[in-house]
Amino acid sequence: DIQMTQSPSFLSASVGDRVTINCKASQNINRYLNWYQQKLGEAPKLLIYNANSLQTGIPSRFSGSGSGTDFTLTISSLQPEDVATYFCLQHNSWPWTFGGGTKLELK
Amino acid sequence: EVQLVESGGGLVQPGRSLKLSCLASGFTFSNYGMNWIRQAPGKGLEWVASISSSSSYIYYADTVKGRFTISRDNAKNTLYLQMTSLRSEDTALYYCARLAMDAWGQGASVTVSS
């Protein structure tokens, strides 16, 4: 199975900060990586698919990069509504696997 | 508007069975593969099972293989998860989602406890 190592587990940042979250795959997953945002008590929401494609309706301050084994989610200017937990998902091969999550809070 | 509504969750004793349903609307259900994903209380997400649009391809996580069965009825726009031999570690919120995981339901809570 492909292991997804996400870092950091916890992140505290100020409004306006540039925030980066990383996911590392245990083997090559090409660009088959998605990023999700999950707010408290809500279902996850797709932000980025296939490493760098912005899902419809998602603000442009969110972006994704990477390929192979190393991937990054960037929030260019943190907003209060971005407080949430973020997960990566590899869908290169079954079983699909999620990263452990990054809890983002405001400083 | 795409909607996925799970039902069938509840409290069940270890070793017993439970069947979840997910009613889809707002899109052509028969054209989409579907997933079940779960989230244990306070934990991360775990992919559980996937099924292709015509049920030709089915995949399971090792943690549920042999105990859970994913199925669908395209005429009823409904996805199912039959869960048997339930264990305490199956306690979670179970989400259905389209295969691309671009649309999710709100989840059905399953608690396995005596």
Question: pLDDT band at A94, cuts 50/70/90?
Answer: confident
Q: Nearest CA of chain B to the CA of A98: how many Å?
A: 6
Q: Is A47 on the interface with B (CB under 8 A)?
A: no
Percent of chain A with pLDDT over 90: 97
Question: pLDDT band at B101, cuts 50/70/90?
Answer: confident
Q: Nearest CA of chain B to the CA of A47: how many Å?
A: 9
Q: Is A94 on the interface with B (CB under 8 A)?
A: yes
> Is the predicted pLDDT of residue B110 greater than 90, yes or no?
yes
Q: Which of A9, A6, A8, A35 is nearest to A23 (CA)?
A: A6
- Mark residue A65 as left, alpha or beta (left: phi above 0; alpha: psi -120 to 50; beta: remaining): beta
Q: Nearest CA of chain A to the CA of B61: how many Å?
A: 6
Among the partner-chain residues B47, B100, B104, the one whose CB lies closest to the CB of A98 is B47
Q: What is the mean pLDDT of residues B65-69?
A: 98
> Is the predicted pLDDT of residue B63 greater than 90, yes or no?
yes
| A28-71 pLDDT tens trace | 999 999 999 999 989 999 999 999 999 999 999 999 999 999 99
Is B47 in contact with A95 (Cβ distance < 8 A)?
yes
Please return the burial class of B65, using the count of CB atoms within 10 Å of its CB with bins 0-12, 13-18 and 19+: exposed
Question: pLDDT band at A105, cuts 50/70/90?
Answer: very high
pLDDT mean across residues, chain B: 96
Contact of A77 with A14, CB cutoff 8 Å: no
